[in-house]
Copies of this chain bind each other. A is one copy, B any other.
């Protein structure tokens, strides 16, 4: 890939993160990339196409980091710990901001929505796999289908990111991870008792389905 191409993509990411979708013009991005405005159209055809390329780049980067984590997630507690680690880094680096800016910006550009959705698909698929892995070993598997739980997780991360960027403070978001971790521990401690409740029937039924 060309050198300026990469510079433009990087500048587009920075612009989306720091100034948002509404100011992400060819001129501003090119200035940040240290090159001419016309190169945006030469390399990408349009500003929108450059922004999509930027989102794809962020997506690809994050997927690499995420997959490394999926290997070391057995229990719910472990998953939450890993998720917190990744999310904190993403929050700090502004990766999720790029995503939320593109999602809301998609309302303003006809045809952009499906393209953004396509970039988000791997994130959602990853969340589904991670959640499925944890639920398989948990008695709540039948209470909360993996698809729904994954949707809730992705929505929660997007919402936490928006509030963090609005407040200029990510402490509230990180505190929720710590809380989730504590609840995960309790769920682990409850598990042996599940058989005493009617929850046990659901859990066993689910185990049979899996085999």
In the complex the two chains form, what is the Cα distance from A19 to B105 in whole Å?
A: 9
Taking CB atoms, residues of chain B closer than 8 Å to A163 are 151, 154-155, 158
Among B97, B108, B155, B162, the residue within 8 A (CB) of A20 is: B108
A197 to B197, CA, bound (A): 13
User: Known contacts being A97-B107, A104-B104, A166-B120, is A199 close to B179, with CB within 8 Å?
Assistant: no
Q: By the criterion of a CB under 8 Å from any partner CB, how many residues of chain A are at the interface?
A: 53
**Cβ-defined contact, B172 with A151, below 8 A:** yes
Instruction: For chain A, residues 172 to 199, give those with C-beta under 8 angstroms from any C-beta of chain B.
Output: 172-173, 175-176, 179, 182-183, 186, 189-190, 193, 197-199
Q: Check if A160 sits within 8 Å of B155, measured CB to CB.
A: yes
CA separation between A18 and B85, bound complex, in Å? Answer: 36
Decide: B159 and A117 in contact? CB cutoff 8 A. Answer: no
Q: Report which A residues bind B (CB closer than 8 A).
A: 18-23, 97, 100-101, 103-109, 113, 116-117, 120, 143-145, 148, 151-152, 154-160, 162-163, 165-168, 172-173, 175-176, 179, 182-183, 186, 189-190, 193, 197-199
